[in-house]
């Protein structure tokens, strides 16, 4: 994932990105930024990378969704600039993330 972001022109700023929220410390896999030439301002992202290796994809999804929601809340309060993304491999996306129920959850 890191190489793919770098090839697309992203500068990895944090590996990992730590968020301290009171007595709760969180660690998002990557923080990155990209200079947008048209706006002359930086766009920042945070990326949580998940492998979905558990025999039950829905179990992995529950964990990933819980983490995503917690990270999103912390980012909104502490560092509102980065957009948060969940990265999964293409096979997981095609076989699981395209299911109707999962699409409803993502929306």
Q: Which domains does the chain have, with CATH numbers?
A: 2-106 (3.40.1350.10)
* Rounded alpha-carbon distances, angstroms, from residue 64 to 11, 23, 41: 24, 22, 30
For 28-82, how does the pLDDT look when each residue is reduced to its tens digit (9 = 90+)? 998 888 765 554 467 889 999 999 999 999 999 999 999 999 999 999 998 878 8
Report, as an integer, the average pLDDT of 18-31: 91
Kindly give, in sequence order, each residue whose CB lies less than 8 Å from that of residue 66, ignoring residues fewer than 6 positions away: none
Per-residue pLDDT at 37: 52
Q: Give the list of residues 6+ apart from residue 5 with CB closer than 8 angstroms, or none.
A: 12, 30, 32, 47
- What is the reported pTM? 0.82
pLDDT score for 39: 46
């Amino acid at each position: 994932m890191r190489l793919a972001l770098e090839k697309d022109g992203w500068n990895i700023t944090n590996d990992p990105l730590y968020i301290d929220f009171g007595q709760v410390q969180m660690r998002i896999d990557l923080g990155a930024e990209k200079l947008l030439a048209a706006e002359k301002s930086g766009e920042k992202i945070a990326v949580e990378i998940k492998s979905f290796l558990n025999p039950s994809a829905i179990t992995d999804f529950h964990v990933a969704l819980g983490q995503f929601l917690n990270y999103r809340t912390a980012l909104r309060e502490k560092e509102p600039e980065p957009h948060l993304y969940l990265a999964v491999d293409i096979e997981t996306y095609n076989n699981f993330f395209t299911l109707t129920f999962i699409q409803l959850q993502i929306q």
